[in-house]
Amino acid sequence: MASGAAARTLGARRRVRVEHPAAARTRSAEDWWWDRLAPSGSGYHLLQSDSMLLVLPGPGPARPRSQRRAARRAQRLRSPGSRTAEAKPRTTPAPTPLQEPDPGWGDRVPLEILLQIFGLLVAADGPIPFLGRAARVCRRWNEAASQPALWHTLTLSPPLAGRPAKSGAKAEKKLLSSLEWLMPNRLSQLRRLTLIHWKFQIHPVLKLVSESCPWLTFLKLSDCHGVTPDALIMLAKACPQLHSLDIQHSMVESTAVVSFLEEAGPRMRKLWLTYNSQTTAILGALLGSCCPQLQVLEVSTGLNHNIIPLQLPVEALQKGCPQLQPSRRAMTPGPGFPSLEELCLASSTCNFVSNEVLGRLLHGSPHLRLLDLRGCARITPAGLHDLPCQELEQLHLGLYGMSDRLTLAKEGSPLLTQKWCHSLRELDLSGQGFSEKDLEQALAVFSGTPGGSHLALCSLNLRGTQVTPGTVSSVINSCPGLLHLNLESCRCLPRGLKRAYRGPEEVQWCLEQLLTTLPYPS
């Protein structure tokens, strides 16, 4: 009897010794996670519901009695004078009081990965304000956001909008004080800089750029005043990689631009100007071969229609800048350029560019890909057929804003499609006075081309022409890659179909409707 009682007593003690620490460990781990998620004194508390655990600000409600009792029991077990603690050592160490918050996952991401992620965001939206906000997240993010390689493109503009001059000058000074730290610490690898609406502090800003941004390649000054020759010369000397300058819509003295071109001319690739009374001096420097490597020249006339047309000797420009590729402005034409790829002579009003002028301009330009002659009513298909370019991809001949009296009857449109049907991707004949038969012959070239499924035509604008339903349906059948078709104001088409069609589904719907309206052959 005594031995049996002793055995039962020993078994009970063993059960107590086995089960009690496990329950204590469970309660201790739960309490440890509770304190870990919302430590005391942090200003947050936990609220547990059926399917979620919320971390809310504020002191929060008191814990249930069972949880308070479990916390006190776990504390007694952790105390050095506890009898239970002496009986068996702890298997799970109790968490030490938190000295600082958990840094979180952001601090565990490798710096190289963060730089890749930040680089994608900067490429999409620019460095500001993203990098400034990311630098406040944690130390690792601050380190990543501070890398100068991410600050390669920047646009700076002081606060705008109808504020008086005094407040504008004050805002520019405030931004300038920030740039005094930002330039040497973040923008040492800046490549592209755009300055907009600087009226008072443009000289100090350009001085900072010249001192801190030696890798600058592109500078744009939009609506900036007070740009001096000293500032541009200093910039040209301090930034040996600078090859693109955009000063459209800015008040920049011609002497400043000429001095800059004389210093940085041999490496200049792109130049954007606004035509005014001082542009002649700048173009004179270009004609003097100060920029032999210039590839892009754009002279904007703005919206002022009363300005005197620019008379430019293109022959001399060809000698001074033989590497010019795109020429996008309505200027007096001259001989062509061997490297010319794009030419835009478009105008919203009727201009008087003739076949002879166009031939002189494009003589020796076999690589032309884009030709925009919208508004050039005197250009004929015969004149276009004589051009030396054989791989033209975009041809725009639309007459927009013209009255019916200025739309002359023309013929010869088959000359255009016969020459470029294999390479044309976009064809615009809007408003042209070609007859029904002439258009039928021109567009029939696409259906008569061997291997018609490989035609490149994807956009066709026939707005206001005399195209017939049979001609349109034939083109759609022959050009499966057609994505845009404009049939607005086409008098020979039935009602309901005179509109623009975008996408292959709408183009096919147009074909189905045209086939239902065509008369059956007798």
One-letter amino acid of 143: E
* Residue 83, CA distances (Å) to 47, 77, 79, 88, 89 in order: 35, 8, 9, 9, 11
Using a CB cutoff of 8 Å and minimum separation of 24, what contacts does 173-177 make?
173/200, 173/201, 175/201, 176/201, 176/204, 176/205, 176/208
Give bridge partners of residue 192 from the DSSP assignment.
153, 218
Alpha-carbon gap, residue 183 to 5, rounded angstroms: 87
pLDDT of residue 406: 42
pLDDT of residue 52: 59
- Model confidence at 243, in pLDDT bands (50, 70, 90)? very high
Alpha carbon 147 to chain centroid, angstroms = 22
Answer whether residue 22 shows pLDDT above 50. no
Answer whether residue 180 shows pLDDT above 70. yes
Q: Model confidence over 110-137: pLDDT tens digits?
A: 888 888 889 898 888 888 888 888 888 8
In the DSSP assignment, the letter for residue 415 is H
pLDDT of residue 428: 93
Answer whether residue 393 shows pLDDT above 90. yes
Answer whether residue 487 shows pLDDT above 80. yes
Residue 190: how many other CB atoms lie within 10 Å = 23
DSSP H or E stretch at residue 83 = helix 83-87
Answer whether residue 331 shows pLDDT above 90. no
Answer whether residue 424 shows pLDDT above 70. yes
Residue 125 structure tokens? 């939206």
pLDDT of residue 215: 92
Whose tokens are 């739309």? That residue is 407
Find the mean pLDDT for residues 498-522: 83
Q: Model confidence over 444-473: pLDDT tens digits?
A: 988 765 544 457 899 999 999 999 999 999
One-letter amino acid of 518: L
Alpha-carbon gap, residue 170 to 155, rounded angstroms: 19
Alpha-carbon gap, residue 276 to 505, rounded angstroms: 48
Closest listed residue to residue 132, CA positions, set 168, 100, 178: 178
Give the CA count within 13 Å in the CB-facing half-sphere of 428: 16
Q: Which residues, 6 or more positions from 14, have their beta carbon under 8 angstroms from its beta carbon?
A: none
Q: Model confidence over 256-283: pLDDT tens digits?
A: 888 899 889 899 999 988 877 778 888 8
pLDDT of residue 379: 87
Q: Quote the percentage of the chain above a pLDDT of 70.
A: 69
Residue 204 structure tokens? 């100090």
Q: Which residues, 6 or more positions from 398, have their beta carbon under 8 angstroms from its beta carbon?
A: 374, 428, 429, 430, 431, 432, 461, 463
pLDDT of residue 392: 92
One-letter amino acid of 353: V
Q: What is the dihedral of CA 191, 195, 196, 202, to 10 degrees?
A: 180
Q: Quote the percentage of the chain above a pLDDT of 90.
A: 18
- Burial of 57-95, coded b for 16+ CB within 10 Å and e otherwise, reads eeeeeeeeeeeeebbebbeebeeeeeeeeeeeeeeeeee
> The whole model's pTM is what?
0.50
**82 vs 108, which has greater pLDDT?**
108
Contact present, 310 and 332 (Cβ < 8 Å): yes
Alpha-carbon gap, residue 337 to 322, rounded angstroms: 7
pLDDT of residue 25: 44
Average pLDDT of the residues of the chain: 77
Handedness of CA 268, 274, 275, 276 (dihedral sign): negative
Q: Model confidence over 35-75: pLDDT tens digits?
A: 766 666 666 666 665 555 666 666 555 555 666 677 677 77
